Amino acid sequence: MAFHGSAVGLFGNWIKWLLLTIITIGIYGFWVFIKLENWKAQNTTFLNQN
């Protein structure tokens, strides 16, 4: 497995998630963990081992 995410990309997402949580008075906070897991999965690939 290889991870291709960057700290800048994660930081940008955290800022977006924080703003959405503030705007929705905390309701969006329930989805932050799910969004974080999705971000990790999207930035992880399997390497071919032939």
Q: Which pLDDT band holds residue 29 (cuts at 50, 70, 90)?
A: very high
Residue 21 neighbours by CB under 8 Å, 6+ apart: 27, 28, 29, 32
Q: Please report whether residue 16 resides in a domain.
A: yes
Q: Please report whether residue 30 resides in a domain.
A: yes
Q: Please report whether residue 11 resides in a domain.
A: yes
Q: Considering its fold, how many domains does the chain have in total?
A: 1
pLDDT tens by residue, 1-23: 899 999 999 999 999 999 999 99
Task: Give the tokens for residue 15.
Answer: 């800022």
Q: Please report whether residue 50 resides in a domain.
A: no
Q: Please report whether residue 12 resides in a domain.
A: yes
Q: Which pLDDT band holds residue 48 (cuts at 50, 70, 90)?
A: confident
Question: What pLDDT is stored for residue 13 in this prediction?
Answer: 95
Percent residues over pLDDT 70 in the chain: 98
Q: Please report whether residue 6 resides in a domain.
A: yes
- What span, in angstroms and rounded, lies between the C-alpha atoms of 12 and 46? 25
46 pLDDT more than 70: yes
Task: Give the tokens for residue 1.
Answer: 């497995």
